[in-house]
Structure formats: structure tokens, C-alpha cells
Amino acid sequence: MQRPFPSCLILRAVSIAAALLIIVGADLRAQIKVLRIDPQQTDAAIEKVQGAHIALEDPAVAPAHKLLVFLAGTRATPESGLAVEGAFARWGYRVIGLDYENGVLAVACAHSADSACFDHYREAIVTGAPVSEKISVDRANSILNRLEKLLVYLAKTDPGGGWDEFAADGQPVWGRIVVAGHSQGSGHAAYIGKMFAVDRVLMFSGPQDYLDDLNEPAPWESSPSATLPSRFFAFLNVNDPFNVQHQIASCAVLMKLAQPAPLMVEPGAAIQGDHQILVNDVEAKRAHGSTIQPEFESVWQYMSTEGDAIRPALPAPPRPTPAR
């Protein structure tokens, strides 16, 4: 059942430490191949933060010729998104859950006197530039270098996995990549979508990049985007302790929506129409983590396929010819 988004919301001050369902044997089909890679195996200069990178593929299904890169939330491991990652693997995607420097909450910038605080925070974590007072990340440990080195490693060590389709000359083939993230990771996914023309950007429970004292979204969200604004999608929760109205305002800027019209969805419900922002009303401790729970798999599928006919992506480069 679909219901109009409520005009008034009562946000509950709830804990965000919701336990996520990450039982591999229960959530993933037996045939899904799950690789766990120590980040230092891909580059000696890279440090392991929360856990191993994970890479998934389902050899039993036809390849979709797309890669999902999933970025977990603050202090979460790559496996915290296993329900989402496993679903995309079953749909033929190659999937990467990336370990990265995620120890500092994005909302650390919410009351900063520097209007560019969020911009610098995202740039530091994604690129390794020494620009943020909130977090220090070198180039080797940036999201971009971690992804580049992991793709090269997978293409070399798992030659039958099809990973070479997503890297050329050591660089990601962005036109074949869907970038997704939960909480803090949703903002990084959007920032990457601004930098590169990716297939899609999928944001779960975020971003949180709202300047409370100025009452406006962070400047980077309105900057020019390499990815079409119509290819950004978000799934939020109306009871999220991180202020869903601020999240919606940020999403509207990223999507260039003058009047955002979030659609309320329920677990397992069929979704019709053209929507970029979807919401649920799961309450209490599960609110912030609800968007990456298995009961909303139909929402993820909608976000990954909605509007393909009317939201053209830039054509991906041809698959690189293996070196001889």
C-alpha cells in the first residue's frame, strides 16, 4: 500500500545503534560467492579500518554488467550492508562493500561556523585531500584509492569473476558503477556521483549534510554534477533521529527537485510511478537502519531500475581487452 507522505512529523530521539541483520547463511543464496579481502593485500599503504573489503558475485545468474559499490555508515563494517549487497548480487551485479575511514560522524559539521565544513569533510574522505579540520585521510586511504586498488586486485586474483569489466588502466569504469551508501556512506556516494558520471547514486538514510545554523544544505550538494540529477535516488525513514526533513532538503538539491514529493512505502509493496525519494515509517531503534533491512528489497529493486527508459546514463566505455 502506498500512502501520501505525512505533512507533519514527530521525530523521536532514539538510539542509532540498531543491530543489523547480517547472517550470511540466511540472507544469501548458497551459490553467492563472497570474498573477504584485507585492504593491505591490495596496497601496503592502505590500513584496515573496520574490517575486510567484501566482494560478491552469483555465478548462477546472468551478469548485469554493472557493479554496486556500497559504503557503510559510521563505524560500520562493509558487511553491515550485506542484505543490500546480497540482493544486488542475486540480480547479476558484481558487488563491493568497501572498508574506509568512517570513524567521524558527518553531523560533526552541522553547527560549524565554516559553511564549507561538509564540503571539506567529504573531499578529505573521498579523495584524501588535506582540507578538513574534522578528519585527516591521506591519498592512499581515500575511498577512491581503496576502490581503484581493490578492482585491480580482484581482476588479477579472480580472473573468472568479471571484475576487469569495471576497471581500465587502473581506474574505475564509472559508467558501469552504481554507488550506494548508508548514513555517512550515502553522502560519500552522492559526492562521488558529483565527481564522476556513474550509472546511479542510491542513498539510504542520508545524507546528513545540513548546516543547522544557516538552515540550508551544504554547498557541495548544489555544485555541478557529472551524474544526471535524475539518477539520484534516496530511501529514508520518517522517524530517523538525524532529521528526515533535512535529509529530504539535501536530496531535493542533489536531484534538482523544486517540490520533492516523498512516497511512503511498506515492506513488500509494489511501487508504481516515478519517484526519486521514498520513505518508510518503521519506528524506534530500527528507524535509521530500516532502509537497509531485507523487508524492503522491493524498494531497492525499484531504485535500481526506475526510469531506465527516461533517465539515460552516459554510455559506458567498451569492456577493456585483457592484456596479453
Summarised one tens digit per residue, pLDDT across range 255-266 is: 999 999 999 999
List the chain domain ranges. Answer: 3-305
Q: Which of 5-14, 50-59, 119-128 has the lowest average pLDDT?
A: 5-14
For 104-153, the pLDDT digits (tens) are: 999 999 999 999 999 999 999 999 999 999 999 999 999 999 999 999 99
CB contact at 8 A, 218 and 211:
yes
pTM of the model: 0.88
pLDDT at res. 285: 78
- 50 pLDDT exceeds 90? yes
pLDDT at res. 5: 40
CB contact at 8 A, 207 and 311:
no
Q: CA torsion sign, 127 to 129 to 133 to 135?
A: positive
CA atoms within 13 A on the CB side of 51: 16
- d(CA 153, CA 204) in angstroms, rounded, equals 28
Residue 45, CA distances (Å) to 9, 142, 146, 239 in order: 46, 11, 10, 40
Superfamily of domain 3-305: Alpha/Beta hydrolase fold, catalytic domain (3.40.50.1820)
Q: CA torsion sign, 300 to 302 to 307 to 312?
A: positive
